[in-house]
Amino acid sequence: MSGAASPYRVLFCDLRTDRPIDVLPLRDVSLDDYIGRPGSLTGSIPVPDAALAERVRRIEDGRTAVYLERGGDLWWGGILWTSTLQADDKGVLTLALQAATFDSYAARRRIRKDLYYAAQDQLDIARKLWDHIQGTPGGDIGVTTGTETSGILRDTSWRDGDETAVDEAFRQLAEVEGGFEYHIAVYRDPVGGQRVKRLRLGHPKLLTGSTDLVLDRPGAVLSYAFPRDATRGGTTARARGASANSDQSQESRPAISAEHVAQDLIDGGFPRIDLASDHSSVSSVATLNALAAAQLAESRGAVVIPEVTVRLDDRAPVPPMLLGRTVRLRITDEWHPQGLDARYRVIGVKVAPPQRGRPETAELFLEAH
């Protein structure tokens, strides 16, 4: 993603202040982003001379933000976590980089204070979790929050000493029945032009935009796949958690949910296929029941996550904020002789740079909408 014709610009900034450090060439870039889990970016910086080496030395792992711009829009933002200086047999130097989206910061922060929330909106609790990690000295990385509400009140708590990772706490809160989705979006403020990192929360789903993005094959859709995976699905689910027993003289057994059964699938001919999940910091049976119900709702029968690959050029304009966007997919081919016309929601995106003989593309991961 370098060269005069490249639509990309890679900006490195101080993580805590967002102060620009440098704009550097980045080759062999691969990037992805998802709702509810961190995305990644990899690439390498060529180091052809001492002058560029001096500039590259200013890029420090764990304290540098990485932004990728395409055509003036922010398409990706995250934290540089690892780098590897490499020299080949011809003496050519490169610095290989690995970064992850800003939500990856939550995996590297622990809850080290007793937190109790009673009868509070689950989205308020999610914002307070993020405010908690940014409220400690050195913890503020500039992620802003909104005012979304869900109308779902929760009772939940985390204890100092359990060393619960904040991303685990987020999943416990979000992945229950009636939970929510989250993503940290990066974009430029339309008024001031400054870079914004915003925690977006959506109940029950995150949605972006008010109109469908229409994708056709033949047309902008270069290829597609509709994988069906029964090994990831099931017809029953149970969740296991931590023991509520604090008496060390007594045997401790993990708390466990009731068995949740998709009886309609079994009555319709599906075999019994059991799903299970472990939640080491959850001792509430009610929460475990909600987690098991949510897992079964998401993984009933065979799991299907459609994938479409679209071109990224002037002939097929695609907006930068794709996650949560509703797509109207229209396909006419031998499998769909009458034409498929269905609506999906984008839950993941992976961008591939142009290669010799191949255009720049975006692979979109979809769910039925």
Give tens-digit pLDDT for 2-61. 443 456 789 999 999 999 999 999 988 899 999 999 999 999 999 999 999 999 999 999
Asked if 346 and 357 touch (Cβ cutoff 8 Å), the reply is no
Prediction pTM value = 0.87
Return the pLDDT at 4. Answer: 39
d(CA 331, CA 369): 17
The burial of 98, by beta-carbon neighbours within 10 Å (0-12 exposed, 13-18 middle, 19 or more buried), is given as middle
d(CA 250, CA 244): 11
Residue spans of alpha helices (H) in the chain: 50-56, 122-134, 166-174, 263-267, 285-298
In tens, the pLDDT along 133-177 reads 999 999 999 999 999 999 999 999 999 998 999 999 999 899 898
